[in-house]
Structure 1
Amino acid sequence: MLNEIKKDALTRMNKSVEALRHDLTKVRTGRASTALVDHLKVNYYGSDVPLSQVATVAVADARSLTITPWEKQIVGAVEKAILASDLGLTPNTAGQVIRINLPPLTEERRKDLTKHVHHEGENAKVAVRNVRRDAIQQVKELLKDKQITEDDARRTEDEIQKLTDKAVKDVDDVVKAKEQELMAV
């Protein structure tokens, strides 16, 4: 019973850290990355589909991406999706290939993005702490129902706290790595 609670807490904490990693791939750094446009949806014959299902996205060089739609008639739809996104990028079309040039980030923009990264990190820490709270609450309910001893409850709470500390450290490491990536010129 207690092992299941710990295992569930660990799984949920790891998911919180992975969700943070995934969210931070969308934050634009000075370097081009295909993850920058992964979340875009393209109107393809009346339904919205992910960009990766209608085109090939590649990193041309450190500051540009190329998008090659598989069908010529959806080039316009891909351009519209890029323009409508919150990326603030302008696509350049040459025939069937769409190029996106990433301008260098200003110092002010880098600092804004760093603040955003820290905010996302804090949200992930809150999620981890909520998982800890839920797990400890389950342990206390078992203790209240006299299904476990006080020693078992104390030991399990300590182990859950260690899992929480590790997850918070992982979040800090992810945030620090992204911050260094942002501040690198």
Structure 2
Amino acid sequence: MEEIELYLEDAQQTMEGAIKHLLIELGKIRAGKATPQMLEGLQIEYYGSMTPIQNVATINTPDARTIAIRPFEKKIINDIEKAIRNGNLGFAPSNDGEMIRISVPPLNEERRRELVKRAKVEIETAKINVRNIRQDANNSLRKLTKEGVAEDMVKMGEDRVQKLTDTYVSKIEQILSLKEKEIMEV
């Protein structure tokens, strides 16, 4: 019974990780509001190594439509601006020598629908990940029968894994509806 609990705990932690990853990916999809997460993944060469922009600058949002980036060292401001332009984010940064400002344009209806589609792709990926975790957990539980654990105990474990899966798929659906509402809000 202890081994079954360990497999269930492991499955739950892994599913929780899938949700966290989903939230990070959805944070990169802009919904018309400026957020520092929009720049996640952008890197510049800094003292010979690729470094995330968040590690070399302060990023904040003074209002709902503006992202302000103040580099710790003025000499890298052009590198940051270049990374933003080359990042295919659809932003036109403006550089005043001290800081970079990005004006986030409002989304049109077509762009909003594209972003919802992109969000749905991320949601589907998360669901697939949760189902794969379920399958791995069930396979591990089935191996326990070969080690002498009673079949009814394994079956109860599989039922609990399915309930866990249903819970996390439901959470993913809730996240989708919130993100869809956020994107479509004008």
Q: Same fold (TM over 0.5)?
A: yes
The CA distance in 1 between the partners of 2:91 and 2:132, in whole Å, is 37
SS at match of 1:92: strand
The CA distance in 1 between the partners of 2:23 and 2:132, in whole Å, is 19
Matches within 5 A, 1:1-185: 1-143=3-145, 145-185=146-186
The CA distance in 2 between the partners of 1:72 and 1:12, in whole Å, is 42
The CA distance in 2 between the partners of 1:146 and 1:36, in whole Å, is 50
Q: Following TM superposition, by how much is the alpha carbon of 1:46 offset from its aligned partner in structure 2, in angstroms? A: 2.3
The CA distance in 2 between the partners of 1:107 and 1:21, in whole Å, is 23
CA offsets, 1:126-183, max 9 Å, x none? 000000001111111111x142111101111110000000010111111111111101
SS at match of 1:58: strand
TM-score, with length taken from structure 2: 0.96
Distance 1:157 1:76, change over 3 A: same
CA offsets, 1:37-77, max 9 Å, x none? 12211121222111111111010211011101111110110
* RMSD over equivalenced CA pairs, Å: 0.9
CA offsets, 1:90-114, max 9 Å, x none? 1101121110001111100100100
The CA distance in 1 between the partners of 2:52 and 2:172, in whole Å, is 28
SS at match of 2:113: helix
Letter in structure 2 aligned against 1:79: E
TM-score, with length taken from structure 1: 0.97
The CA distance in 1 between the partners of 2:178 and 2:44, in whole Å, is 31
Letter in structure 2 aligned against 1:182: I
Unaligned 5+ runs, structure 1:
none
